[in-house]
Amino acid sequence: MTTTSQTVAAILKKAGITFRPLPKDWGNSHLGQIFHHMIPERICEFDPKCIAEAANYVGVLQAFAQATQGEFVPESLRAEGSVGGKVVLEFMHAGKAIRFKFTQQGRWVADDFYEQLRKFCRKHLSGSYLSVGTDWAMEVYLPHKVIAQIQKKTRTFDSVEAVVQFVVEGASPSDMFTAWESLPWQLKAGYTRDGDSLMTALLKSEADTDRCLSAYETHETPLLPSRYGESPLELAQRLRGVNPRHLIGEPSATLGYAEIRQKWSQRLWHSYRPEYMRIVDALEADLSSMRFSESGNLYGIVMCHAPLLDCGTEVAEVHYHEYNPAYTLNLLTLGPGGGALYLQLPLDQVETVIDLLRRYCRRTLWTTPGQDGAWLVVPK
């Protein structure tokens, strides 16, 4: 069977692109790892949550340009506007004035920026950017035909819409399993241009219900609401006539912090694992008001504010992944003034994990629409 790395190597070789061969045991590594080793000079990698002001887009565009190895050298860059409003990014390319205009909600690089950048690439450059991100935004600059071949051969996708269309067109569970193997978490936990999560978009699509549920169960796609707070559970019942509660479990009993801490100290499994205890110790004062899963044994931290833990309504979870050292953070509060946030963060960003959990405990996380996953205002 041809491995992912062999497939990529064959495509790059045929296109005349110089690359470093991969070690033999990297056969089916994630595309991000493969490209990082083979053609690191074509990689653009950055923290996607980097927009504190419009001027930050100048650095973002320069990072993208650097990956083209001189084909794209924007000049006279300037960005104006504000977070929560419109941003205008202007630059000169090959003597032509180029202008991107988009809405900036929160601190994440806007979806419309990526869309306009790819339109610019199709019109002015020989290549574009293939999203292969994992913990960070990671894009690799490649010729247009090479991107199309890689997407076809490895079932990669550059948008949530493309993933939805793949399922709508009749992907089998086996097809989805293969595709999900290399699907970055930014797409599993991403949103369409209309603000739908992968699951809410699938439930609203023409895909049959079995495929929708298979998409969720394959590699644990996050059951995220839309950016406007539409619950996948509610949509499944209203639009499909099914109750997918079995996918996340029924509400379960909880314990207070003092009780769960005592249980943790008595258990052998993962008990007092340092990656978790660093977070617990830093948040001890805030955890006193939280409720914890009665079955929690530090395979992860799972908590909420309510007497019953309902992972489809209100929950804060953090899990440490030893095989790929990183934290997965899942925060959800349904209803007015709520939001949803799903992140994978490397271990050196544990302070970010602690800060987000602290704000969740204090109910100060979802304060500004579009900021840190807070619901957006429904378009009129």
Q: pLDDT tens-digit profile of 302-348? A: 999 999 999 889 999 998 877 667 899 999 999 999 999 999 888 88
- Predicted pLDDT of residue 227: 94
Side-chain-facing half-sphere of 175: CA atoms under 13 Å = 12
Q: For residue 254, what pLDDT band results from cuts at 50, 70 and 90?
A: very high
Q: Which strands form 308-309's sheet, in the order they lie side by side?
A: 308-309, 252-256, 291-293, 301-304, 314-321, 326-333, 339-346
Q: Tell me the average pLDDT across 184-213.
A: 88
Percentage, residues of the chain above pLDDT 90: 50
**pLDDT, position 335:** 92
Q: d(Cα 294, Cα 358) in Å, to the nearest integer?
A: 21
pLDDT at 284: 92
**CB of 21 closer than 8 Å to CB of 42:** no
Interatomic CA distance for residues 98 and 120, integer angstroms: 8
What is the arithmetic mean of pLDDT over 256-275? 73
213-218 CB contacts, 8 Å cutoff, 24+ apart: 213/242, 213/244, 213/247, 214/173, 214/176, 215/167, 215/176, 216/244, 216/247, 217/247, 218/173, 218/176, 218/177, 218/180
For 264-279, the DSSP string reads HHH--TTTT-HHHHHH
Q: Taking the domains of the chain in order of start, what are their residue ranges?
A: 4-154, 160-243, 252-361
290 has pLDDT over 80: yes
List, in sequence order, every beta strand (DSSP E) within 94-148: 96-103, 127-131, 137-143
Lowest-pLDDT range of 41-50, 133-142, 365-374: 133-142
Q: How does pLDDT run across 71-100, given as a tens digit for each residue?
A: 999 999 999 999 889 999 999 999 999 999
Average pLDDT over residues 345-362: 93
Question: pLDDT averaged over the chain?
Answer: 87
Top mean-pLDDT range of 100-109, 178-187, 259-268: 100-109
pLDDT score at 219: 64
Q: Where is 77: in which H helix or E strand?
A: strand 75-81
The predicted model gives 246-270 an average pLDDT of 78
**Weakest mean pLDDT among 79-93, 171-185, 225-239, 272-286:** 171-185
**pLDDT computed for residue 135 by the predictor:** 47
> Do 143 and 126 form a contact (C-beta atoms < 8 A)?
yes
Q: How far apart are CA 232 and CA 312, in angstroms?
A: 9
Residue 264 has pLDDT above 80, yes or no: no
- Please check the confidence at residue 295 and state whether its pLDDT lies above 90: no
Q: Which of 66-80, 120-134, 246-260 has the highest mean pLDDT?
A: 66-80
Return the pLDDT at 1: 44
Q: Which residues contact 191 (CB under 8 A, 6 or more apart)?
A: 111, 160, 197, 226, 227
Using DSSP bridges, classify how beta strands 43-46 and 127-131 pair: parallel, antiparallel or unpaired: unpaired
101 in Cβ contact with 88 (< 8 Å): yes
Q: Picking from 53-67, 75-89, 212-226, which range would have the lowest pLDDT averaged per residue? A: 212-226
Q: What is the CA radius of gyration of the chain?
A: 22
Q: Can you say whether the dihedral through the CA atoms of 307, 310, 314, 315 is positive or negative?
A: positive
d(CA 111, CA 191): 9
CB atoms within 10 A of CB 292: 21
Cα-based distances in Å from 56 to 112, 140, 319? 15, 21, 31
List the one residue out of 46, 24, 28, 44 whose CA is nearest residue 36: 44
Taking 70 as the threshold, does the pLDDT of residue 150 lie above it?
Answer: yes
Question: What is the DSSP pairing of strand 137-143 with strand 326-333?
Answer: unpaired
At residue 210, does pLDDT exceed 60?
A: yes
Q: What is the model's pTM?
A: 0.70
Tens of pLDDT, residues 10-41: 999 999 999 998 877 665 567 778 888 899 99
